[in-house]
């Protein structure tokens, strides 16, 4: 393809090569995970982590990312971080954020786990 199509062939080859590299990275243990603690939850994707406090989340619910069911969430009104990102996400999906995976669980089971954790630990922090 790179011989016949020139630059377009190289672009296609590079794109799919990058996709394959991302796929391989996701197979490495701990590169993608959801960690629940008393303080909140940490989402790790491609070794990059983002922590969210239970008290910063207003609610969890089932929604859709494309055709796939996902756990969506909205931040409390007092949450001031990521204003632009939250606004764009809200317009596109109807929620401020979403878990990127169900981590091998059924979406309803993960929703129950997230809501129970928020209720249990968020209440301890005065939420």
Same domain flag for 70 and 13: no
The three-state secondary structure class of 96 is coil
Q: How far apart are CA 61 and CA 69, in angstroms?
A: 10
Same domain flag for 17 and 51: no
- Classify burial at 60, counting beta carbons within 10 Å of its beta carbon; exposed 0-12, middle 13-18, buried 19 or more: buried
Same domain flag for 16 and 57: no
Q: How far apart are CA 56 and CA 30, in angstroms?
A: 25
Which tens digit of pLDDT belongs to each residue from 69-103? 999 999 999 988 888 988 898 888 899 999 988 98
Q: How far apart are CA 7 and CA 13, in angstroms?
A: 10
Asked if 65 and 93 touch (Cβ cutoff 8 Å), the reply is: yes
Domain count, the chain: 2
Q: How far apart are CA 89 and CA 95, in angstroms?
A: 6
Same domain flag for 11 and 42: no
Domain that holds residue 12: 1-29
Same domain flag for 54 and 16: no
Q: What is the mean pLDDT of residues 37-65?
A: 92
Same domain flag for 37 and 76: yes
Same domain flag for 40 and 102: yes
Question: Residue 69 belongs to a domain with what CATH number?
Answer: 2.30.29
Same domain flag for 21 and 78: no
Quickly state the pLDDT bin for 126 (edges 50, 70, 90).
very low
The whole-model pTM stands at 0.72
Same domain flag for 64 and 11: no
Q: How many CB atoms lie within 10 A of CB 109?
A: 11
Same domain flag for 102 and 118: yes
Cα dihedral across residues 13, 15, 16, 17: positive or negative: positive
Q: How far apart are CA 120 and CA 104, in angstroms?
A: 23
H or E element in which residue 127 lies: none
Same domain flag for 40 and 79: yes
Same domain flag for 72 and 108: yes
Which tens digit of pLDDT belongs to each residue from 14-41? 999 898 888 887 677 777 889 999 999 9
């Amino acid at each position: 393809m790179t011989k016949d199509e020139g630059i377009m062939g190289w672009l296609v080859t590079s794109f799919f090569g990058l996709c394959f590299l991302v796929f391989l990275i996701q197979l490495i243990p701990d590169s993608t995970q959801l960690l629940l603690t008393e303080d909140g939850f940490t989402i790790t994707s491609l070794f990059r982590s983002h922590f969210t406090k239970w008290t910063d989340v207003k609610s969890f619910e089932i929604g859709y990312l494309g055709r796939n069911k996902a756990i969506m969430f909205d931040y409390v009104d007092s949450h001031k971080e990521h204003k632009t990102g939250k606004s764009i996400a809200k317009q596109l999906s109807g929620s401020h954020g979403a878990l990127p995976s169900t981590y091998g669980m059924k979406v309803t089971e993960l929703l129950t786990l997230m809501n129970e954790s928020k209720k249990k630990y968020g209440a301890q922090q005065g939420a």
